[in-house]
Amino acid sequence: MIAGREVCVPVGVLVGLTETCFGRLGLSREDASVVADVLIDANLRGISSHGFQRVPIYAKRVRQGLAGGSEEMSVVASFGAVCHMDAGKGLGPAVAVKALDKAAALAREYGVGLVALGGSTHFGPAGYYARRAASRGLVGMVMSNAPKTMAPYGALERFVGTNPLAIAIPLARHEPFVLDIATSVVARGKISQAAQVGEPIPLGLAIDSEGRPTTDAVAALAGSVLPFAGPKGSGLALAIGMLCGVLGCADFDDELASMYEDFDKPQNIGQLFLVVDPWSVQDRDRGERRWDGLIDRLGALAPAEGRGPVQYPGQLEAARASERARDGVPVSSAELMAFAECCAEYGFDDLATAGRSLVGM
Amino acid sequence: MIAGREVCVPVGVLVGLTETCFGRLGLSREDASVVADVLIDANLRGISSHGFQRVPIYAKRVRQGLAGGSEEMSVVASFGAVCHMDAGKGLGPAVAVKALDKAAALAREYGVGLVALGGSTHFGPAGYYARRAASRGLVGMVMSNAPKTMAPYGALERFVGTNPLAIAIPLARHEPFVLDIATSVVARGKISQAAQVGEPIPLGLAIDSEGRPTTDAVAALAGSVLPFAGPKGSGLALAIGMLCGVLGCADFDDELASMYEDFDKPQNIGQLFLVVDPWSVQDRDRGERRWDGLIDRLGALAPAEGRGPVQYPGQLEAARASERARDGVPVSSAELMAFAECCAEYGFDDLATAGRSLVGM
C-alpha cells in the first residue's frame, strides 16, 4: 500500500465523491458516472493502482483542458464490422465504454466487431471493458498502448509502454473469465510503491538509466521496466503498440505524451476493442455448459504445495468485489488526502472536507 | 539439435521429399504441396521442431486414417464476418491455409474476418498463417489449442496445452512483423532434446509428475511444463483453449487426443484465424510509413551489453530463411533417418533411399 494506514470506505461514498468531482469539472452526468464506475470498480477488485488513486491526475488534465467528456467523440471511418473512432480527447473510461458498446453492436450485426479508438487517454483497467462484453454473453478482447516506460528485449532504453491485453469470456454458472495482463514483469505502480517506502525490488523487473539490472526502485523508475518472459512480452507489447497506433490513428508509444509529465498537449492513446458473438455460429447452451465444465475441472485440479484451489483469471477479483461492495473498500489515507487537496484546489470545499473526514474515521 | 551431426540440404530437396511423401499417402497435389511448404518453411526459419521432423508422425496418422487432405473440410455455420469450419480431420497445414484464406476474404468484405476451425490437427507454426495474412497487407492473429502438457498457475498437474498465439503485421520496407509465442516458458521440444542428450534443464521450466520443480529433463517430460510469467502465460493458454474449444467446436486441451500417443481417434483441435484489413479504415501509405518508421527507430535503440542491434519479432527468422534458401537447410541426420525409415515402412523405397543418401553426403 502506498503510505500510511488504510481506511475502509463504503463503495457508494467513493463512487459519489468521484462522480461529483468530475461532474463539477464539467463532465456530463453520464460521463462522470462512467468514470467513477470504472475507477472505483478497480478498487473493488483490488487493482487500486488503476482506481481512486487516479482521480487527481485525471482531474488535473480535465481542468487544464487536456481531457474531458465524451461529447466530441466521433466516427472517423467505418467499413463493415470495423470502425475507427476518435475520442476527441475524452477521458479514457468515458469514451472506452462507448467504443466497447459500438464493437458489441457490430458483433451483434456481423458476429465480430472491431473498434479502433484514437485520441484517447489513460482508461484504467483494460479488463473492465472486456468484462463489459462478457456481461452481455460476448467475448471481449481489449488492448491499449501507453507512453514508453519499458525497454524492448535486447535494448537498453525505453521504447514501448507496458501495453495491456485483456480477454474476457462469458460464463453462465461462474463470474466471467477476465484475463488482464500488462506486458511488463510487474506493474510499474508496484515499483513506485517500493520507491515511496524505500524498499528494494527483486532483480529482473527493471534496468536503470544506464541499462544495468537494478534492485533500486528509484533507479528503476528513472530507467526502464522489463517485459515479461523476455522476447514474448516484448513482442506482444510491440504488436499492441503497432496495432493501436495505426488502426486508431494514435501516437506510438515512443511518441505519446506522459499523463503525469506532459501538460502541453493531450495524450493521443490508441485502444482496440474486439468483440465476438460466439453464439452467432455456436449453440449457446452447449457452449456455456462446456466453458462452465472446464472451469469446474480447473478448480478441481491438485493445487501446488501450500496453495488453495486453482483459480481462473478474474475469479479472485470477482470474489473480492462482492466482499468489498458489502464491507467497504480499503483506501490509503494518502490517496484520500491527495483527493482532498485536489478538490480544495478547484474550490470543491465540501468534497475536500468529505475526503479529509474519511481519513479521520 | 536432436542427435548426431547435421547435413545441409537444399530447400528444394526437402520440399520435394515431403511433398512426394504426402502425395504418395493420398493427399492431393495441392494439399501435399501446402503441407510441405508449411513444414519446410519452419526449417528455413530455424523452427526445426515444427518442420521436417514432423513428417513421420503426420505420415503415420494419415496412413492410419486419422488425418488426411482438405477434401472434407466444410463450412458448418456462417454469420456475417464469422465462419465456423470443420476440418474433416484434414492435416493442420492443409486446412489452416484455407481457413486463413477464408478469414482474409471476410476481412476484405467486412474489414475483419474470423474463422473458427474445429476437427483439425497439429498445424505446425501458428506464425506461418498469420504471416500469410501479412503478405497480403493484412493483419493476422492466429491461435491454436493443443493437448494438455502444461500445469496452469497454482496447479500441480497438466491441464492446458502450450497453446500458441501468433500476430503478424505487414510492413512495406521490411519483412513482416511476426510474433509467434507458445504460452510455456520454453517449447516442450527443447526439453525433449535435453532428455535425448541427457542434459539437465534450468529450474523453472517444468515440474515432475509429483509437481516438484525439476532440472531432470526426463522427469519434466513425465510431468508438466510451466507457463511463461506464471499467471500471465497460464491465463493466456486458458483463454486460447477456451476460445478454440467452443468457437471451433473442438475438444478442450484436457480432452484432446495426443498426436504421438493416441491412435484410436483423430485429434479434434481448434484453431482461430482472425484477419483485419487495416486499410479498410486507415490510409495505407501513411500507415505503412508509420510502421516502417517505428521499426527503424526500434533498430536504432542502444542494444543491451554484448548484443547486436535490437530486432523485431520475425526479423531474424526472415533473414535466416533467405540465407537457408540460398545455402541449404541444416537437418539432423537423425531426422533424415527417421524420414527414410518411415518411407521404407510405407514402401516408398526411392524416398527412403534419397533420405539415407542425404545422410551420407
Per-residue pLDDT reduced to its tens digit, A57-88: 999 999 999 999 999 999 999 999 999 999 99
Q: What angle do CA A244, B179, B135 make, to 5 degrees?
A: 85
Report the residue from B185, B236, B298 with minimal CB separation from A159: B298
Query: B159: which chain A residues are within 8 Å (Cβ-Cβ)?
Result: 297-298, 301
- How do B165-169 and B177-181 pair as beta strands? antiparallel
Cross-chain Cβ contact B304/A156 below 8 Å: yes
Backbone angles phi, psi at A37, to 5 degrees: -65, -45
SS3 B42: helix
Q: Which three cell numbers stand for residue A338?
A: 491527495
Q: Which of residues 113-172 of A touch B (CB under 8 A)?
A: 113-114, 116, 139, 151-157, 159, 167, 169
Q: How confident is the model at residue A314 (pLDDT cuts 50, 70, 90)?
A: very high
Q: How confident is the model at residue A187 (pLDDT cuts 50, 70, 90)?
A: confident
Query: A228: which chain B residues are within 8 Å (Cβ-Cβ)?
Result: 228-229, 232
Report the residue from B139, B159, B228 with minimal CB separation from A298: B159
Neighbours of B137 (CB within 10 A): 17
**Chain B nearest CA to A84, separation (Å):** 6
Cross-chain Cβ contact B154/A231 below 8 Å: no
Q: Which three cell numbers stand for residue A333?
A: 489515507
Residue A361: the pLDDT is: 64
Cross-chain Cβ contact B238/A179 below 8 Å: yes
pTM: 0.97
Question: 3-state secondary structure string, chain A?
Answer: CCCCCEEEECHHHHHHHHHHHHHHCCCCHHHHHHHHHHHHHHHHHCCHHHCHHHHHHHHHHHHCCCCECCCCCEEEEEECCEEEEECCCECHHHHHHHHHHHHHHHHHHHCEEEEEEEEECCCCCHHHHHHHHHCCCCEEEEEECCCCCECCCCECCCCECCCCEEEEECCCCCCCEEEEECCECCCHHHHHHHHHHCCCCCCCCEECCCCCECCCHHHHHHCEECECCCHHHHHHHHHHHHHHHHHCCCCCHHHCCCCCCCCCCCCCEEEEEEEECHHHCCCHHHHHHHHHHHHHHHHCCCECCCCCCCCCCCHHHHHHHHHHHHHCEEEEHHHHHHHHHHHHHCCCHHHHHHHHHHHCC
Cα separation, A186 vs A207, whole angstroms: 13
- DSSP label of B3: S
What contacts A96, CB < 8 A, 6 or more positions away? A38, A117, A120, A123, A128, A129, A142, A271, A273
- For A305-314, B16-25, B93-102, which range has the lowest pLDDT when averaged over its residues? A305-314
The nearest alpha carbon in chain A to B80 belongs to: A110
Report the residue from A112, A179, A239 with minimal CB separation from B112: A112
* Chain position carrying cell 497453446: B163
**Chain A nearest CA to B75, separation (Å):** 11
Judge whether B105 is closer than 8 Å to chain A, CB to CB. no
Domains located in chain B, CATH noted: 1-63+328-361 (1.10.1530.10), 73-184+227-314 (3.30.1370.60)
Report the residue from B81, B239, B310 with minimal CB separation from A179: B239
Neighbours of A189 (CB within 10 A): 16
**Chain B nearest CA to A301, separation (Å):** 6
pLDDT higher than 70, residue B4:
no
Q: Which residue has the higher pLDDT, A144 or A2?
A: A144
Which pLDDT tens digit goes with each residue over B22-77?
A: 999 999 999 999 999 999 999 999 998 899 999 999 999 999 999 999 999 999 99
Which pLDDT tens digit goes with each residue over B175-196?
A: 999 999 999 999 887 898 788 8
Cα separation, A76 vs A272, whole angstroms: 15
Over chain A, what is the mean pLDDT? Answer: 96
Q: Residue A325 burial (CB < 10 Å; 0-12/13-18/19+)?
A: middle
Judge whether A76 is closer than 8 Å to chain B, CB to CB. yes
Site from A281, A283, A285, A295 to mutate, B interface, most B CB atoms within 10 angstroms: A281
pLDDT higher than 50, residue B1:
no
- How do B74-79 and A206-207 pair as beta strands? unpaired
Q: Which three cell numbers stand for residue B157?
A: 498437474
Kind plus residue range of the DSSP H or E element containing B224: strand B224-225
Cα separation, B206 vs A203, whole angstroms: 22
**Chain A nearest CA to B142, separation (Å):** 13
Residue A2: the pLDDT is: 41
**Chain B nearest CA to A1, separation (Å):** 22
Site from A141, A246, A253 to mutate, B interface, most B CB atoms within 10 angstroms: A246
pLDDT higher than 50, residue B334:
yes
Backbone angles phi, psi at A113, to 5 degrees: -140, 140
What contacts B107, CB < 8 A, 6 or more positions away? B81, B113, B133, B138, B275, B276, B277, B280
Kind plus residue range of the DSSP H or E element containing B332: strand B329-332
Cross-chain Cβ contact B313/A84 below 8 Å: no
Average pLDDT of span A251-272: 95
Judge whether A250 is closer than 8 Å to chain B, CB to CB. no
Cα-to-chain-centroid distance, residue A68:
18
Over chain B, what is the mean pLDDT? Answer: 96
Percent of all residues in chain B with a pLDDT value above 90, rounded to a whole number: 92
Cross-chain Cβ contact A238/B177 below 8 Å: yes
Judge whether B111 is closer than 8 Å to chain A, CB to CB. yes
**Chain A nearest CA to B329, separation (Å):** 25
- How do B224-225 and B269-276 pair as beta strands? unpaired
Residue A4: the pLDDT is: 64
Q: Which of residues 38-67 of A touch B (CB under 8 A)?
A: none
Residue A272: the pLDDT is: 98
Residue A189: the pLDDT is: 79
Which pLDDT tens digit goes with each residue over B232-282?
A: 999 999 999 999 999 999 999 999 999 999 999 999 999 999 999 999 999
Query: A211: which chain B residues are within 8 Å (Cβ-Cβ)?
Result: 302, 304-305
Cα separation, B232 vs B327, whole angstroms: 40
Query: B313: which chain A residues are within 8 Å (Cβ-Cβ)?
Result: 231, 235, 238-239
The nearest alpha carbon in chain A to B83 belongs to: A281
Cα-to-chain-centroid distance, residue A261:
19
Judge whether B231 is closer than 8 Å to chain A, CB to CB. yes
CA-nearest of A209, A240, A235, A239 to A224 is: A209
Cross-chain Cβ contact B152/A313 below 8 Å: no
Judge whether A281 is closer than 8 Å to chain B, CB to CB. yes
**Chain A nearest CA to B109, separation (Å):** 7
Judge whether B3 is closer than 8 Å to chain A, CB to CB. no
Site from A115, A177, A236, A294 to mutate, B interface, most B CB atoms within 10 angstroms: A294
- For A43-52, B144-153, B157-166, which range has the lowest pLDDT when averaged over its residues? A43-52
CA-nearest of B123, B117, B133 to B167 is: B133
Site from B86, B102, B232 to mutate, A interface, most A CB atoms within 10 angstroms: B232
* Total beta-carbon pairs less than 8 A apart between chain A and chain B: 236
Which pLDDT tens digit goes with each residue over B71-122?
A: 999 999 999 999 999 999 999 999 999 999 999 999 999 999 999 999 999 9
Q: Which three cell numbers stand for residue B207?
A: 515440474
Q: Residue B253 burial (CB < 10 Å; 0-12/13-18/19+)?
A: buried
- Give the ipTM: 0.97
Cross-chain Cβ contact B298/A167 below 8 Å: no
Contacts of B347-353 with CB under 8 Å at 24 or more apart are B348/B20, B348/B21, B348/B24, B351/B17, B351/B20, B351/B21, B351/B24
Judge whether B292 is closer than 8 Å to chain A, CB to CB. no
**Chain A nearest CA to B78, separation (Å):** 6
